[in-house]
Structure formats: structure tokens, C-alpha cells
Amino acid sequence: MSMLKIEGVHTFYGNIEALRGIDMEVNEGEIVTLIGANGAGKTTLLMTCCGAPQASKGRILFEGQDISRMPTHEICHLGIQQSPEGRRIFPRMSVYENLQMGASTQDPKYFDQDLEMVFDLFPRLKERITQRAGTMSGGEQQMLAIGRALMGRPRLLLLDEPSLGIAPLVVKQIFETIKQINREKKVTVFLVEQNAFHALKLAHRGYVMVNGNITLSGTGAELLANPEVRAAYLEGGH
């Protein structure tokens, strides 16, 4: 069944219409990616799912429940967690404290078990446990952001450009881990990316966004082979 269903969503920033009627869905157990150029509205769509900003038209259903009018912090309690654009970790708090913050919606009894799970996925974080998060490298910060989201025991994980400003080798590693999270931890992933090649290779299905509209959709392999996608997002790159 579809876990997240977006129906005709319009979102405005003041007078600017950033999303012009989006329809898409994420099924349980999938990795779905959304690719597009700068300013296409990818992040806006992801944030609209979290209720900041709220959609002015249309509905967003999470497991059948309409969440488009709920405040952000309540949406998180339903089992949606995100690693926001630019990571937004708490720079002056330690890695451990950041992970504690991630678990704030959860019963403390799961904490130790979840912490171990995150450290299994990202052994680097365990080494840095008492370090100030802001002093870590970009890749480590991204790992922390994903780990922090996982501490909230999500069923749906929203990832906004996890490859942003990170060394290619580390990007590969992070994408591997995302795959592992999806397969082993049974977490559904909705991934917003500019790095179309990596994202489409990883994803089960993908959507392409241009100027606030979804223009193409299909499986990851289909989109990778699509000449339009190749011309717009892949050529000249990898």
C-alpha cells in the first residue's frame, strides 16, 4: 500500500507558487527519489510533507491519515523523521547529545538499543561520541543527521540532499548505508537529490521535478536510461 500519498499539493512562499499541484506516492519498503535542478521545489515538497510550510491546497496522507494541516512536531510523532537540507545538526552539542535529541519523541527504553543500531550503521559516530558535532567533517555531520533521524524510530525517513558538499567517496558510503537502512531496518526512504546518477541507481522508483511540477516518473533504471534525464541531469557529469 502507499505509505505517503501526495495529492494535488500546492505550496506558496508569499505570492510565489513553489509547488504547482504535485501528485506522487511512496510505497512501504521502497526507496523513492526525487531529482531536479536547483530551485525546482524539491526541498519545498519535502518540507511540505513535514508541515513547514503547510500546503495551501491538496492533501498529504501518511498511512491514510491527512497530515497536511498538522504542526511539524506532531507529524514527527507519527513516525516520519527527516535529515533536513544542510544537515542542521546542533553544532555546539556533542554527538551523543545530538542523538539524544533525535530520540526525544521516543520512549527512553528503546534508547540503548537504537544507539547501538546507529553506531553499527555509522561506526565513525561511535569514535566521535563526545566530540562537538560542529567540529566534525561534512560527511560525519551527514551521518549524524541521518543517525539522529533514525533515533526517532521512523517508518518513513525523509533525506534532503545527503550528498551536499561531501567527498565522493563518503557519498558512496552514505548511499550504501541508506540502502542498508532500507533493506535491513525496513525503513521506507524518500530521498531528495541533485546527484541524479547515484540517487537513481539506489532508488526503486524516481520522480523528476521541473519548476514545481513532476514531469517524469518511473523506476530508477528507466529514468537512468531515459534520454531526457540523461541530457538534463547526467551528461557532462559522471
Partner 1 sequence: MSAFLTSSRISGAEIAKELAFFAVIALMMSVMILGVETVDRPTGLELAVRWDLVLTAIVSTMIGRLALIMRRENMSRIGQAVLITLAAIAVFEMFVRFRELDDRWAHPVILDMASSSITSVIVALAFIGIIFTIAYFSKKTAVAEADTAPKLGAKIQLAYRSNTKKIGALGIAFFVIFPFLFGENRSAIDLATLVMIYIMLGWGLNIVVGLAGLLDLGYVAFYAVGAYSYALLSQNFDLSFWLCLPLAGIFAASFGIILGFPVLRLRGDYLAIVTLGFGEIIRVILINWYDLTGGPDGISSIERPSFFGFADFSRRVPEGNIGFNELFGLEYSSMHRLIFLYYLILVLALVTSFVTTRLRKLPIGRAWEALREDEIACRSLGINPTNTKLSAFAIGAMFGGFAGAFFATRQGFISPESFTFLESAVILAIVVLGGMGSQIGVVLAAIVMIGFPEMFRELAEYRMLIFGAGMVAIMLWRPRGLLSFRDPTILLNMSTKDKVAGEVK
Cα angle 180, 188, 165 (rounded to 5 degrees) comes to 65
Nearer to partner 1 by Cβ, of 152 and 220: the residue is: 152
CB of 152 to partner 1, least distance (A): 6
Nearest approach in angstroms of CB 58 to partner 1 is 21
Q: How far is the CB of 168 from partner 1 (least distance, A)?
A: 26
Q: Find the part of the chain contacting partner 1 (CB under 8 A) among 15-23, 53-61, 73-81, 203-211.
A: 73-81
Stretch that binds partner 1, among 96-104, 188-196, 202-210, 216-224 (CB under 8 A): 96-104
100 binds partner 1 (CB under 8 A): yes
> At residue 55, what is the residue type?
A
Please, which residues bridge with residue 5 across strands?
25, 61
| 3-class secondary-structure state, position 136 | coil
Is residue 139 exposed (0-12), middle (13-18) or buried (19+ Cβ within 10 Å)?
buried
Residues 134-193 interacting with partner 1 (rule: CB under 8 A):
135, 148-149, 152
Task: Give one word for 86, left, alpha or beta, with left for phi > 0 and alpha for psi -120 to 50.
Answer: left
Q: Would you list the DSSP string of 13-73?
A: ETTEEEEEEEEEEEETT-EEEEEE-TTSSHHHHHHHHTTSSPPSEEEEEETTEE-TTS-HH
Determine, following the binding rule CB under 8 A, whether residue 238 of this chain makes contact with partner 1. no
User: Minimum distance from CB of 188 to partner 1 (Å)?
Assistant: 17
Per CB under 8 A, residues contacting partner 1 are 50, 52, 72-74, 76-77, 81-82, 84, 88-94, 96-97, 100-102, 104-105, 129-132, 135, 148-149, 152
